[in-house]
Amino acid sequence: MPGIIFYHCPMTRSAIARWTLEEVGEPYTIETVDVRAGAGGRTPAYLKINPMGKVPAIKHGDVVVAENAAIAAYLGDAFPDKNLAPKIGDPTRGEYLRLLFWAANCIEPAMMQAHLKFETQRGQAGWGDAELVFDVLAQTVARTPWLLGDQFSMADVIVGSGVAFGRQFGMIPERPEFEDYLARINARPARQRAQKLEMEAAEAAHKAAGAAT
């Protein structure tokens, strides 16, 4: 099995990919792309990995994948024995894919709409509007224990990370469904490991910056 390279910058949206990697539990090496310094991800070498110049991305053998939801989908399929993705032919596979795409296409813009406070026409914007997305999100995360039922999946990582990010920055309203779901995802050992690693990396970067001044 080829190794996994993780193009990462601590305390950014690439923390989501870190959670996917911790759920998979295979070794990975980190290539830090400090998107807050200098050219960030806009170097010729990294733009070949992700033309957006953004983290995260992974390389697994010759396969390069950027975008959190795509990384989750890829890893879920690449490591079928980890049971993080319904297999092709499984009746829950359609809902699984819908949730991954829906999170990227609808939750993220809805959070931005709530944050930046602009109007959309429900029938025109792909995500409708923030109120519609948050209502559907509340119904979605009320499924227990996980979004597909008994089986935790990468859809929980992607939708759950959206809920966690949105609640942390006040971009998603407080609702009991969101708080209950956050309690369930926060109890995942892989999420706890990923968060601890993120804190350690952030502290190390802070110390290194202090030492340099």
Ligand X SMILES: N[C@@H](CCC(=O)N[C@@H](CS)C(=O)NCC(=O)O)C(=O)O
Q: Is the backbone of residue 117 left (phi > 0), alpha (psi -120 to 50) or beta?
A: left
Instruction: Work out which of 5, 40, 120, 205 binds ligand X, going by CB under 6 A.
Output: 40
Instruction: Work out which of 10, 41, 109, 128 binds ligand X, going by CB under 6 A.
Output: 41
Instruction: Work out which of 18, 54, 188, 191 binds ligand X, going by CB under 6 A.
Output: 54
Nearer to ligand X, 10 or 128 (CB): 10
Cα–Cα distance, 173 to 169 (Å, whole number): 10
Query: Between β-strands 28-32 and 57-60, what pairing exists: parallel, antiparallel or unpaired?
Result: unpaired
Q: Nearest distance from residue 90's CB to ligand X, in Å?
A: 25
Please choose, out of 35-43, 88-96, 122-130, 182-190, the segment that lies near ligand X by the rule CB under 6 A.
35-43
Instruction: Using DSSP, state whether 89 is helix, strand or coil.
Output: coil
* Sites for ligand X among residues 111-130 (CB under 6 A): none
Please name which of 145, 141, 6, 165 lies closest in space to residue 75, comparing C-alpha atoms: 6
Please choose, out of 48-56, 126-134, 145-153, 170-178, the segment that lies near ligand X by the rule CB under 6 A.
48-56
Q: Nearest distance from residue 57's CB to ligand X, in Å?
A: 8
Instruction: Work out which of 4, 35, 75, 84 binds ligand X, going by CB under 6 A.
Output: 35
Burial class (CB in 10 A: 0-12, 13-18, 19+), 40: middle
